Amino acid sequence: MSSPRNVIVTGGAGGIGRSIAEAFIERGDRVILADLDTEAVTAVATQIGATPLIVDITDRDTAPAILADAAAGHGGIDVLVNNAGLLSLHGSITELDPADYEATLRVNVLGTFLVTQTVAKAMISAGKGGVIVNISSIGGRQPTPGMGGYESSKAAVDSLTRWAAIELAGHGIRVNAVAPGPVLTPMLAMAMPEGSEARAAWESRIPLKALAATTDVAAAAVFLASADAGHITGVSLPVDGGQLLT
Ligand SMILES: NC(=O)c1ccc[n+]([C@@H]2O[C@H](COP(=O)([O-])OP(=O)(O)OC[C@H]3O[C@@H](n4cnc5c(N)ncnc54)[C@H](O)[C@@H]3O)[C@@H](O)[C@H]2O)c1
């Protein structure tokens, strides 16, 4: 096992973020859980042995300083996982509320950009390279009616991944994304209980016939951040049970 690294996971209080953080901690890394939900992030960090960091990643006046301070305070950041995202605001092209679209783009695109910019600067000045993993979605490549606002934000995350990868490669920083299909988070399990019509409808689109577990997404993130993925940069890796094949 390689030596412990400092890892930031944004949106770490949520279903997938928690699982990603646990997977890094399991391999011996130190994790900073960054989230705007003070209560939830403090509780989750305590439960899993991470350090909580309260930050709104869309706030350009405060987020860069909070993240830069955290990086400096921990002796640098080796791995950034841009996982925070807004995935609840949907509507058809003729009906989506523009304010909802703007809110989604702010978190998923602007927020991911702001955190990447800040942490990349810290990685460049530390001069030790680094790894960035963005949590995208196969929706960025395969449309589902009614979800296009969210999906277009994830297409932008895939593009941002390639943008950062080409510019940061010279600094020894690799940038990739994990693109899940629907993931069985506690929230989704509640919204679509086993046996429900909604769950069956999603499963019927997936050749492997199951939604992803949060640990499937975490395993891909840990792999992309590892030395085993040392020659991989600029990709968005589907973790979708084959859904993109259909
Ligand atoms: N759940 C799925 O089916 C699924 C599928 C594909 C991709 N994803 C992506 O995975 C990521 C995590 O999803 P999840 O299902 O765990 O969602 P979640 O809602 O459980 O977690 C998201 C977390 O992000 C935090 N967050 C939101 N806005 C923030 C901000 N401005 N600053 C800081 N933190 C903020 C929330 O407080 C929350 O803790 C998202 O990027 C999502 O788009 C999810």
Summarised one tens digit per residue, pLDDT across range 85-128 is 999 999 999 999 999 999 999 999 999 999 999 999 999 999 99
For 55-68, the pLDDT digits (tens) are 999 999 999 999 99
Q: 4 has which bridge partners?
A: none
d(CA 145, CA 142): 10
Ligand 1 atom 7, closest CA:
137
Report residue 203: phi and psi, to 5°: -60, -35
Q: What is the pLDDT of residues 35-84, one digit of tens each?
A: 999 999 999 999 999 999 999 999 999 999 999 999 999 999 999 999 99
pLDDT tens, 223-240? 999 999 999 999 999 999
Residue 106: C-alpha distances to residues 103, 117, 189 (Å)? 5, 15, 26
Topology annotation, domain 6-183+214-232: Rossmann fold (3.40.50)
From the candidates 32, 150, 229, 243, which is the catalytic residue? 150
| DSSP secondary structure, 108-171, as one string | IIIIHHHHHHHHHHHHHHHTS-EEEEEE--GGGTS--TT-HHHHHHHHHHHHHHHHHHHHHGGG
What is the best residue among 67, 87, 202, 215 to mutate for testing ligand 1's pocket, by most ligand atoms within 8 Å of CB?
87
Residues above pLDDT 90, as percent of the chain: 99
* pLDDT higher than 70, residue 1: no
Taking residue 229's Cβ as centre, other Cβ atoms within 10 Å add up to: 18
Q: What is the rounded average pLDDT of the residues 181-208?
A: 94
Burial 49-87 (b: 16+ CB within 10 A, else e): ebbbbebbbbbeeebbebbbebbeebebbbbbbbbbbbb
Identify the residue whose C-alpha is closest to ligand 1 atom 19: 14
Mean pLDDT of the chain: 97
d(CA 51, CA 73): 12
**What percent of the chain lies above the pLDDT cut of 70?**
100
Task: Using the predicted structure, report yes or no on whether residue 2 has a pLDDT greater than 90.
Answer: no
- The DSSP-derived string for 200-224 is HHHHTT-TT-SPBPHHHHHHHHHHH
Distance 82 CA to ligand 1 centre (A): 10
Give the residue extent of every domain in the chain: 6-183+214-232
